Structure 1
Amino acid sequence: MTTSSCPAATAASPAPARCAPAPRRRRALALLGLATLLAACASTPSEPAPAAAAGPARPALVVFLVVDGLPMRQVSAVRHLLAPDGFARFLDRGAWYAEAHYGHAYTVTAAGHATLFTGASPQRHGVIGNDWRDRATGAPVYCTGDTAEHYLGSPTDKLDGTSPRNLQAETLGDVMRRADPRSKVIAVSGKDRGAILPAGRSGTAYMYMNDSGRFASSTYYMPAHPAWVEAYNATRPADRWFKAEWRPLLPREAYGDVVTDDPPWFGTRSGRLPATLGRGDAPDQIFYTLLLRSPYVDAMALDFARAAIDGEQLGRDAAPDLLAISLSGHDYVNHAFSAESLASYDHLLQLDRLLQDFFHDLDTRVGRDRYVAVLSADHGFMPAPEWARGRGLEAGRASSAQLLGRVNTALQARFGVPKLVREVSASALQLNPALLQQHGLDADTVADAARDALRGEPAVAAAYTRREMLAGAPAGAPFFAQMRRSWNAERSGDVPFALKPYWILSSSADGTTHGSPHREDTHVPILTWGPRWAGAGRVDSRVETVDIAPTLAGWLGLPPPAAAEGRPLPRPAR
Structure 2
Amino acid sequence: MATTGRFASTTYYMQQHPEWVEAFNAARPADRWFKAEWTPLLPEAAYARSLPDDPPWFGPRGGRLPMRMGGADAAAPGPAYYASLLRSPFADQLTLDFARAAIRAEHLGQDEVPDLLVVSLSGHDYVNHAFSAESRISHDHILQVDRLLQAFLRDLDATVGRGRYVAVLSADHGFMPAPEVRRARGLEAGRVDWRRALERVNGRLQQAFGAAPLVRLSPGASLNVDRRMLAEHGLDLDRVADAARAALLLEPGIAAAYTRRELQDRSRTGAPFFEPVLEGWHPQVSGDVPYVLEAGWMASAGVATHGSPHAYDTHVPLLLWGPPWVKPGRVDARVQVVDLAPTLAHWLGLPPPPASQGRVLPLP
Give the TM-score normalised by the residue count of structure 1: 0.61
CA deviation profile, 1:276-331 (whole Å, cap 9, x unmatched): 11233221111011101100111100000000001111122232211111111101
Q: How does 1:5-20 map to 2 (within 5 A)?
A: none
User: Who is 1:270 aligned against?
Assistant: 62
Which of the numbers 333, 342, 348 marks the counterpart of 1:541? 333
User: Who is 2:203 aligned against?
Assistant: 409
Deviation at residue 406 of structure 1 after TM alignment? 2.4
User: Who is 2:10 aligned against?
Assistant: 218
User: Who is 1:260 aligned against?
Assistant: 52
Alignment gaps of 5+ in structure 1: 1-208
Instruction: Give 1:259's aligned amino acid.
Output: L
SS of the equivalent of 1:461 reads: strand
User: Are 1:230 and 2:22 an aligned pair?
Assistant: yes
Question: C-alpha distance in 2, partners of 1:438/1:532?
Answer: 68
Which of the numbers 131, 142, 151 marks the counterpart of 1:357? 151
Mapped contact 2:269–2:275 kept (Cα < 8 A): no
Of structures 1 and 2, the one with the larger relative CO (CA 8 A, separation 6+) is: 1
Question: C-alpha distance in 2, partners of 1:533/1:468?
Answer: 47
Question: C-alpha distance in 2, partners of 1:513/1:502?
Answer: 11
Mapped contact 2:164–2:323 kept (Cα < 8 A): no
SS of the equivalent of 2:144 reads: helix
User: Are 1:348 and 2:136 an aligned pair?
Assistant: no
Question: C-alpha distance in 1, partners of 2:4/2:84?
Answer: 12
Seen in structure 2, the aligned counterparts of structure 1 residues 430 and 561 have a Cα distance that, compared at 3 Å, is: farther
CA deviation profile, 1:161-220 (whole Å, cap 9, x unmatched): xxxxxxxxxxxxxxxxxxxxxxxxxxxxxxxxxxxxxxxxxxxxxxxx222211112222
Q: 475-484 vs 517-526, which deviates more?
A: 475-484
Deviation at residue 351 of structure 1 after TM alignment? 0.3
Structure number having the greater helix percentage: 2
Give the TM-score normalised by the residue count of structure 2: 0.95
Consecutive aligned runs of 4 or more in structure 1 exceeding 4 Å deviation: none
User: Who is 1:430 aligned against?
Assistant: 224
User: Are 1:563 and 2:360 an aligned pair?
Assistant: no
Question: C-alpha distance in 1, partners of 2:23/2:270?
Answer: 57
Structure whose CA Rg is larger: 2
Q: How does 1:458-469 map to 2 (within 5 A)?
A: 458-469=252-263
Deviation at residue 441 of structure 1 after TM alignment? 1.0
Question: C-alpha distance in 2, partners of 1:474/1:231?
Answer: 55
Q: 369-378 vs 525-534, which deviates more?
A: 525-534
Alignment gaps of 5+ in structure 2: none
CA deviation profile, 1:461-489 (whole Å, cap 9, x unmatched): 00111111122244541111111111122
Question: C-alpha distance in 1, partners of 2:228/2:324?
Answer: 59
Structure number having the greater strand percentage: 1
Deviation at residue 239 of structure 1 after TM alignment? 0.9
Q: How does 1:359-508 map to 2 (within 5 A)?
A: 359-474=153-268, 476-506=270-300, 508=301
Q: How does 1:173-212 map to 2 (within 5 A)?
A: 209-212=1-4
Deviation at residue 533 of structure 1 after TM alignment? 5.0
Which of the numbers 84, 91, 116 marks the counterpart of 1:290? 84
SS of the equivalent of 2:360 reads: coil
CA deviation profile, 1:336-364 (whole Å, cap 9, x unmatched): 11110000000000000000000011111
Mapped contact 2:268–2:274 kept (Cα < 8 A): no
Deviation at residue 554 of structure 1 after TM alignment? 1.3
Question: C-alpha distance in 1, partners of 2:268/2:9?
Answer: 47
User: Are 1:244 and 2:42 an aligned pair?
Assistant: no
